[in-house]
Structure 1
Amino acid sequence: MKETAIVYCENNFGTMDGKTANGLVRSSRKFEIVGVIDSTKAGMDAGNYLIGEKNGIPIFKDLNQALENIQNVPDQFIYGIAPSEAFLKKDERNLLLKAMEHGMNIVNPLHEFFTDDPEFIKHAEQFNITIHDVRKPARKKDMHLFSGRILNIDTPIVAVLGTDSAIGKRTTSVLLEDALLKRGFNVAFIATGQTGLIQGAKYGVAIDAIPSQFMTGEIENQIMKAYENDNPDIIIVEGQGALSHPAYISSCGIIRGSRPGAVIIQHAPKREHLGDFSYMEMPTVKSEIDLIENFSKAKVIAVTINHENMSDDELAKTISEYEEDIKLPTTDVLKFGCDKLIASIFDAFPNLNGKQEKALIK
């Protein structure tokens, strides 16, 4: 059985910085989400607010209201915001201490590690709860340098990259994984950020918390674990940030470490500036494709659209324009599913067609 969890996302649910809460409301293989805390949207259904479909996850104004309305105290309290500064505010700190006092274990996705905090450690011991610092890396002596082992495998590897952070790369990756699983494929998903790991990914590492010397090796190691343990038909690798993004280097490590044979690129056509960097204009899809293909040996095989601030007519027009101008299959997986992506993957890796036939026979 899944453990129950409440997700804190004050003033950020449905926004870029609320991506951890957003992702958990959409999909969680590890936890049963029983509520979201965001006073600005209290009383709403989280699914209805986020995707226009009710999912029975209520939004509460604060922890007190949540505990008054949830039948049992949740097993886990998840901090569901991903702020660029990645550190706690004072009122949030007090809230976490209160959650501990109620007996809830803490799931922390920040770069600020609670297990290094004397007050949090003392509270955890006093109230017999656990703290999970999702981004806390292994000790350096246990990290991996790039070994080249990945060069010897022939399993198709597809990376889902993008033109900005918090643009939908993980969502597209998870939906693509689900669509391939439904077709009978054995799929390995490699999470590279805190949200994918909290959602329950079997393999992965929070790449932005890894020293740069070990980035490629840690990604390679996760892929090799999946390859050796599960013998997958295909490996999907979640991207982070953007290769062109001036503030992040995660995409470099992901491309170098995963050695993808193909890339799907996610873009938000109506986003004018990089998230959290309002002084930087968004790259174009074409410029990002050129950069990725020059930086790696991978080919970009499809484009996926984040439809934020777009009408259905604008979305349909953009998809048609991209397919005509860029000559790549283009879709919005939240609106139209993953059929175009799977077709582009079959074109890039023809051997998968045979595995599709075997899967259908089964």
Structure 2
Amino acid sequence: MDLRGYFETPVPATVLAEGEFGTTEGKTANGIVTSSEVFDTRVVVDSRHAGCRPADVLESRDAPDVPIVTSVETALAKAPEVEVLVIGVAPAGGGLPESWVDDIEAAIRAGCDVVSGLHVFLSEDEHWTDLADRHGTRLIDVRKPPGDDDLRVGDGSIDDVSADVVLTLGTDCAVGKRTTTYERYRAARDAGYDAGWVATGQTGLMIGSHEGTVIDRVPADFTPGVVEDMVTAVGEAHDIVIVKGQASLTHQTYSGVTLSVLHGCWPDAVVIADEPGRRTRTHFDAFEVSGIETEARLVEALSDAEVAAVSTWGDSETEAARLDLSVANVFEEDGPRALLSAVRDVLAAPTASNGPPESGA
């Protein structure tokens, strides 16, 4: 899925982040507000932070100065030009909270399309499809997996992709893989490279990846093939393809999808995202984090890729001193550029046809 194809971007949007704006559970809404190339956020709905400003809630100077309000009705009054409601939270349990129904209905009646990251699909519910039909709006469920006709097992056709492929993996979930991928993509474009990127989760799709699928909704046998198709499509249009991975190869719960992404995109280089202070896994305190060294060893044992760098949340100099790898903090001003430089060194200097000269990056 490429959401850029649905809209004349950036499209003015209301972001529904009820109760979770600024939290980990609201990471999709947070990313849309600060980074999306598809949606131009004009107002945020979150009654918990109504009256605040996104820059304060997100502690980010990149956040736009837009209002946070209590309801979609208020949002429509504040920003009548909005064309789409983006649901930026997927509540625990996967359902649609009853308290959100009025907000979504109000958006549709006002002529807004709805882009949903919910686990339930609005486009398969008669109530929502009838309402959308009456008001001439679209329901776009980004978690909906590819249809059966688009599923296949991986066949190694990724070897025919001439573009360089760079994958972001991690030592755990929620260690900054999506941020690392996106910021490295932006650094590459700023440096003059013809780069595109592939998302494997809903946040990346809503920010504006060139291709994406919520990969945990794809049947296991077909995951490498779906990734292969996405990377191939982006590689046909760009010289560098940056892929956002999932979880980690040592994660007892999610390593299956991690390995499928690694094998599906068969990268030339890998960047590993890490939070150095983390000792146990997010949401799984019984599982210990195995660490960068183990993760890097497995990446290079299970693929032909070379680990180019570590994207850390910590002090890059401290981490570099203990690791035999390039290290940068992607949240620091020069971090994305440093990661790009490390990847460039692994891929070798680009030719005139696919990027700037050595000094340009």
* Conserved? CA contact 2:82–2:112, under 8 Å: yes
Q: Which residue of 1 aligns with 2:321?
A: 324
Secondary structure of 1:336 counterpart? coil
1:168 offset after TM fit, Å? 1.8
Deviations 1:32-82 (A, max 9, x none): 111112222222221343243152122223323323322x15211111014
Which of 63, 66, 72 pairs up with 1:63?
72
Q: Which residue of 1 aligns with 2:241?
A: 235
Secondary structure of 2:304 counterpart? coil
Q: Structure 1 residues 16, 279: CA separation in 2 closer, same or farther (over 3 Å shift)?
A: farther
Q: Which residue of 2 aligns with 1:99?
A: 107
Q: Structure 1 residues 247, 102: CA separation in 2 closer, same or farther (over 3 Å shift)?
A: farther
1:271 offset after TM fit, Å? 3.7
1:17 offset after TM fit, Å? 1.4
CA separation in 2, counterparts of 1:260 and 1:85?
A: 34
Q: Structure 1 residues 279, 82: CA separation in 2 closer, same or farther (over 3 Å shift)?
A: farther
Secondary structure of 1:235 counterpart? strand
Which of 283, 292, 299 pairs up with 1:285?
292
Q: Structure 1 residues 212, 151: CA separation in 2 closer, same or farther (over 3 Å shift)?
A: same
Q: Which residue of 1 aligns with 2:344?
A: 346
Give aligned-pair identity as a percent.
30
Which of 113, 130, 141 pairs up with 2:121?
113
CA separation in 1, counterparts of 2:54 and 2:178?
A: 19
TM-score (norm 2): 0.88
For residues 306-321 of structure 1, the aligned pairs below 5 Å read: 306=313, 315-316=314-315, 319-321=316-318
CA separation in 2, counterparts of 1:291 and 1:82?
A: 32
TM-score (norm 1): 0.88
Q: Which amino acid aligns with 1:269?
A: P
Q: How many residues align?
A: 348
1:237 offset after TM fit, Å? 0.5
Which of 215, 227, 234 pairs up with 1:207?
215
For residues 1-362 of structure 1, the aligned pairs below 5 Å read: 1=8, 2-53=10-61, 55-70=64-79, 72-83=80-91, 85-228=93-236, 230=237, 232-248=238-254, 249-306=256-313, 315-316=314-315, 319-337=316-334, 338-352=336-350, 355-358=354-357
Q: Which residue of 2 aligns with 1:311?
A: none
Secondary structure of 1:327 counterpart? coil
CA separation in 2, counterparts of 1:58 and 1:95?
A: 17
CA separation in 2, counterparts of 1:246 and 1:110?
A: 25
Deviations 1:140-186 (A, max 9, x none): 12323212111233432110111222332111111111111111111
Structure 1: stretches of 5+ with no match in the other structure = 307-314
Q: Which amino acid aligns with 2:347?
A: F
Q: Structure 1 residues 343, 75: CA separation in 2 closer, same or farther (over 3 Å shift)?
A: same
* Conserved? CA contact 1:184–1:360, under 8 Å: no
Secondary structure of 1:333 counterpart? coil
Q: Structure 1 residues 332, 20: CA separation in 2 closer, same or farther (over 3 Å shift)?
A: same
CA separation in 2, counterparts of 1:78 and 1:85?
A: 19
Q: Between 159-168 and 28-37, report the one with greater CA deviation.
A: 159-168
1:88 offset after TM fit, Å? 1.8
Q: Structure 1 residues 279, 7: CA separation in 2 closer, same or farther (over 3 Å shift)?
A: farther
Q: Structure 1 residues 45, 197: CA separation in 2 closer, same or farther (over 3 Å shift)?
A: same
* Conserved? CA contact 2:309–2:325, under 8 Å: yes
1:330 offset after TM fit, Å? 1.3
Q: Structure 1 residues 60, 243: CA separation in 2 closer, same or farther (over 3 Å shift)?
A: farther
1:236 offset after TM fit, Å? 0.6
Deviations 1:68-105 (A, max 9, x none): 322x1521111101445332222223432333233321
1:272 offset after TM fit, Å? 4.4
* Conserved? CA contact 1:12–1:18, under 8 Å: yes
Structure 2: stretches of 5+ with no match in the other structure = 1-7
